[in-house]
Amino acid sequence: MSWYLVQNPDVARSGKDPILHYIRHGAAESRNPSPDFDNEYYLTKYPDVTAASMNPLDHYIRFGKMEGRSARRAPGTNAGALQRPASYVPRSGEGRPAALRARLVAFYLPQFHPIPENDAFWGKGFTEWTNVTRATPQFDGHYQPRLPADLGFYDLRVKDIQKEQIEIALQYGLSGFCFHFYWFNGKRVLEMPIAQFVENDAHEMGFCINWANEPWSRRWDGRQQEVLIPQSHSPDDDLAFIQYVAGYFRDRRYIRIGGKPLLMVYRPGLFPSAVETARRWRAYCREAGIGEIFLAYPQSFDLDDPAEFGFDAAVEFPPNLGRFPDISASIPTLKSGFRGKIYDWTELLNRSRAYPQVAYTLFRGVCPSWDNTARRMEAAYILVNPSPSRYREWLANAVVDTCDRFADFDSRLIFVNAWNEWAEGAYLEPDARHGYAYLQETRDVLLARPAAGRSPGGPSWRVLFVSHDAALGGAQASLINIIQWLQSHTNLEIKVLCLAGGQWLEAFRRLVDTVVLDDLASETGTTATKLAHITEWYGGIPDLIYCNSLATGRVHALLGELDRPILTHARELGTSVARYAKDNMGDVVSRTQRFVACSRSVRDYLVSEHNVATDAIDVIPSAVPQPNADHSPTEIRRLESRSLAGWPTDKVIVLGSGVGMPFRKGADLFIEVARILRARGVEDYHFYWLGSFRGRERDEVLGTWSQQLDRLRADGLDEKVTFLGDVDDVGTYLRRADLFLLTSREEPFGRVMLEAAFAELPVICFAGSGGAPEFVEEDAGIIVERADPAAMADATLRLIRDKSLRMQLGRQASAKARLHFSTDRVFPRLLSTMRKVANKPPAVSIIVPNYNYARHLHERMDSILGQSFQDFELIILDDASTDGSQSILNYYAGVHGTRVIVNDRNSGAPYPQWFKGMALAKADLIWIAEADDVSEPSFLETLVPLFRDPGVKFAFCASKMINDRSETVGDYLSSPYLTDLSDFKWRRSYQVSAAQEVNEGLGVKNTVINISAAVFRKFDITPDFVAQVLSLPAGGDWYFILEAIRNGSVAYESALLNHHRRHGDSVTSAVTASHSEALLRTRQMIHQHVLHTYETDLAIKLKMAEHALQLWNQLFPGRPAEEMESLYSLTKLGEFPARSPRIPEIALEP
């Protein structure tokens, strides 16, 4: 503050602290604190500051700077230079993402080139830009007109424009465009951009079409008023339409779901009978060789279950997501002639934080913003308060929800409205205000991991998965599920080596870098040459080699030379081993550090037949993703699905499944069971088999598989038994069926069996066949004598006749599968084994201190175990609870490797447990998750990536308040506790230095508020520090945080991901209530610690003094402020300790 003393020699002569002088006297006397801040200018320019009687510098630091106010008269600037606003984000130099968590498809409006119809309706040369440029603001701060940035006012007739759009979209993670398609009884309008897109064969951008099957009206709303081009529907037009658009379906880039081309229809409710239209379309596509199609509609006008229209799915079409209050009356500067409506965009974001669930397939939708002023002017619908960071949170919520509900990547579709709806203010394209901000947020959210190959605080550990091939099969499907789960729940760096190709090779490549061994190295090459090729492709040597089956045995010796641990997942029994791995089992056993067996039967086989030690095997059952609620089977749905597929609706449907080896899978026994039922005069059944076999597959006794099929047809049994071949979506077929026959003579566990259980089908299997009886037991189906088709026919007939028993066993099978055999239940155990074999620590150590919170423990633990990020260890520390907590905690012991440690006596404070947990923690990152709080599933997924920057030492999120009944009672963002410091700081995400965080609030009071909201790097705990924290009657957590952030950066996430429970019996609230004087003394001590430890700015003492006075008035109402001096001395704020760093001159931006 030497400048202040030079300008004010009277202050220098007085010996008074310059900061305190300015706070108490200087501002009122119009003395400037710095050459970069002008008191008089600020108060004159902003009379609201004068009216509020605020210190001008305090106002600028707390509010003005963030609001864009100037601190002094600005020097002259070059008026001819292009000025970008501070909010403008330029285009990054990043390439196209290698892997994505979901497929984002943007609706694309083609109305950016002149057409004769628009020339006639609106005037020569009309395009969407004509509307955009005429928009005017309807209130102060209204962002209109919205003008494009880099792409300019483009004309889509210029082919380079669309090429650039595609390049931008791919760079920022979009998977496709959904073109609005206009067909009016054979008349096509605005088709040129779609045709141009398809003609350009040089790109790999996906696309689909959305038929806007409504009238074209002057009002731009598809209603029947002022119709310009009418729309009518008929059976003939249905056929003409599908015949035409089928040409698009044949393009290799057309978006498919489960191999089915996706056709969107904007308003299926306009068809005389949408169900009949859908039947015509499906029948034509089957006959034309296209196969099955996937029909969906955006929920704009129609909100029904898509099955009502004969469709497969619906798509959210924001902002049409419900009714929200019109807030026009709250806009003080609204134009007098405005007759539209204004809504709060954040209502859409809030909805995404707790998505309503529906009982049908629904794809999520997002929109960056919405404002159709350009089209409707004073009658516009406007959504206020959008921002790139809020859009990011909405998209992140949609991605998490989508990944949770859809296991296969093909179905992980999210739609954004829109790519270029400029006249509706709904666009991702760069604009003059935000540039590429929305696109950058899009890319960051969609990346499969926030930074490839990086985990919190340093390089991720790396796993090489080895698959024996990429053919259609259970082991390969399970590996895809494992990779998907690890990508969604960890930061592992993953690559896949396939020993042979197959039809799922592209599915692997869509997820991760995948290569076929023969494409890397010649079969005849030396070991050294092969290893050199593998390590060059991999980019080094992995930390763990995960062989996905015993059939990978031919490379165990080769990969063993890399001197890295090998984990082998045993998914086979004797017959398969004899066929696929017999000659290599010696290498498998000798080179494997640890085995995972998919069932106890497989473990016992390894022990008895290959002398593997029991303690070298972890039994981890097979698992499949839990279907989303949209796929819950009901009787009506089963019948509707059968009817649409042409299956009988008056018979019991029995399903079997298998590929590869027909006699091991018991496909011949499947036929024999049907034959026995027919011989007994049973007619009300039909058998369907999923999967295919080669006809030359042979059994020494039974002959070839083709001979079995010949006999089937010769007996006329093909009327009762249908082999469907390979199918893309097994779940769809299972949900049509009534029961599942697992006819395998040998089955290590049975992946499709689990899928059948999820579909509420009872399972009939053979005893002694492998792992299936371990699942079925007595409550999920019926177990019969091994390879006995007559016994299986008896059990099948029993369930055909007893519908009640069939449904009861099916429900029990589903409940068991959901509780114990979903990927979310099983794969954390698999991750724990992988980590153990690789000798790697977890990414995060979660410490749960508990004392007498039994009533909240289940909710807390569920919120931890339900985290979308799962690479963590869990340490529960009970402080000698007396309320039965320990019996609850014992339930969780061992889950996810959980350690439960119980104190003999209560410590009397939370902090000893914190320090104890940190000493036990293996990870670099720590989350102290208090036992009474709750977290959102995305808490770790959101905060952990913030530590990619090695300088970040502490990350926290916004918190909402909940009561003892878990009801939300508010949030801190709008509470005076934070708004006293800033109305804006915590409403947006940020990353700042520790010193800046201290100066902007944390040095005044604990702005983190709740330690459960934070993740931090482990730091050194000295005895002196421990003693200091334990000596504080209050504020120990605050002091702890100030130490945790030292010499680093702080990252903050504005999403409300933490639920802080407020109740009156906590340790901290008891101190606040009963030790008021000690509380003030603690404030003084911590404030002095801040001034001693951190480089502080001019205003922090003012903030500290204001806070102390507020606290005094709160704790001691009516007592004069002078009495506070004995508890909290304002005078001491001016006394900087000798160790305090020099405070630099203030430099404020104009």
User: Residue 82: what pLDDT?
Assistant: 46
Residue from 816, 747, 754, 757 nearest 787 by CA? 747
Sign of torsion over alpha carbons 990, 992, 998, 999: negative
Is residue 652 within 8 A of residue 674, CB to CB? The reply is no
User: Residue 615: what pLDDT?
Assistant: 93
User: Residue 1149: what pLDDT?
Assistant: 25
Residues 6+ apart with CB under 8 A from 707: none
User: Residue 1147: what pLDDT?
Assistant: 27
Least confident segment among 625-639, 810-824, 972-986, 1043-1057? 625-639
Residue carrying the six token digits 């492998």: 770
More reliable by pLDDT, 1131 or 1004: 1004
Residue 432 CB-density burial (10 A; 0-12 exposed, 13-18 middle, 19+ buried): middle
Q: What is the pLDDT of residues 839-888, one digit of tens each?
A: 999 989 999 999 999 999 999 999 999 888 888 999 999 999 999 999 99
Q: At what angle do helices 192-199 and 159-171 cross, to 10 degrees?
A: 70
Least confident segment among 195-199, 269-273, 620-624, 1109-1113? 1109-1113
Q: How far is CA 67 from CA 502, 785, 988, in A?
A: 58, 77, 13
pLDDT at 201 over 50: yes
Count Cβ atoms below 10 Å from residue 78 Cβ, excluding itself: 7
Q: What is the pLDDT of residues 322-344, one digit of tens each?
A: 888 898 988 888 998 999 999 98
pLDDT band, residue 62 (cuts 50/70/90): low
Least confident segment among 332-336, 441-445, 1131-1135? 1131-1135
Residue from 997, 1001, 956 nearest 978 by CA? 1001
Q: What is the pLDDT of residues 348-381, one digit of tens each?
A: 988 898 888 888 999 999 999 999 999 999 999 9
Least confident segment among 394-403, 421-430, 1116-1125? 1116-1125
| Averaged pLDDT for residues 1105-1131 | 86
Residue from 467, 463, 461, 495 nearest 479 by CA? 467
pLDDT at 19 over 80: no
Q: What is the pLDDT of residues 1006-1023, one digit of tens each?
A: 999 999 999 999 999 999
215: number of CA atoms within 13 Å, CB side? 12
What are the φ and ψ backbone dihedral angles of 721, each rounded to 5 degrees? Answer: -130, 125
Instruction: Outline which parts of the chain fall under CATH 3.20.20.80.
Output: 103-446
pLDDT at 131 over 60: yes
Side chain identity at 298, as an amino acid letter?
A: P
CATH of 841-1074, one of 3.10.129.10, 3.90.550.10, 3.30.750.24, 3.40.50.300: 3.90.550.10
Side chain identity at 194, as an amino acid letter?
A: I
pLDDT band, residue 638 (cuts 50/70/90): confident
pLDDT at 579 over 80: yes
pTM to 2 decimals? 0.62
User: Residue 2: what pLDDT?
Assistant: 60
Residues 6+ apart with CB under 8 A from 106: 169, 174, 176, 177, 178, 415, 416, 417, 418, 419, 428
Instruction: Outline which parts of the chain fall under CATH 3.90.550.10.
Output: 841-1074
Is residue 659 within 8 A of residue 744, CB to CB? The reply is no
Side chain identity at 892, as an amino acid letter?
A: Y
Is residue 955 within 8 A of residue 1050, CB to CB? The reply is yes
User: Residue 1: what pLDDT?
Assistant: 53
User: Residue 222: what pLDDT?
Assistant: 47
Looking at the chain, the whole-number percentage of residues with pLDDT higher than 90 is: 60
Q: How far apart are CA 145 and CA 429, in angstroms?
A: 15
Residue 643 CB-density burial (10 A; 0-12 exposed, 13-18 middle, 19+ buried): middle
CATH 3.20.20.80 fits 103-446, yes or no: yes
Q: What is the pLDDT of residues 756-809, one digit of tens each?
A: 999 999 999 999 999 999 999 999 999 999 999 999 999 999 999 999 999 999
Q: How far apart are CA 485 and CA 490, in angstroms?
A: 8
Side chain identity at 1148, as an amino acid letter?
A: L
CATH 3.40.50.2000 fits 631-826, yes or no: yes
User: Residue 77: what pLDDT?
Assistant: 34
Tokens of 923: 């990870």
User: Residue 427: what pLDDT?
Assistant: 98
| Averaged pLDDT for residues 1087-1112 | 88
Side chain identity at 15, as an amino acid letter?
A: G
Q: What is the pLDDT of residues 707-736, one digit of tens each?
A: 999 999 999 999 999 999 988 778 889 999
pLDDT at 468 over 70: yes
User: Residue 33: what pLDDT?
Assistant: 84
Q: What is the pLDDT of residues 1051-1096, one digit of tens each?
A: 999 889 999 999 754 444 444 445 788 889 899 999 999 999 998 8
Q: Which long-range contacts (CB under 8 A, 24 or more apart) does 217-225 make?
A: 218/121, 220/372, 220/375, 220/376, 222/266, 222/267, 222/301
Mean pLDDT for all residues in the chain: 88
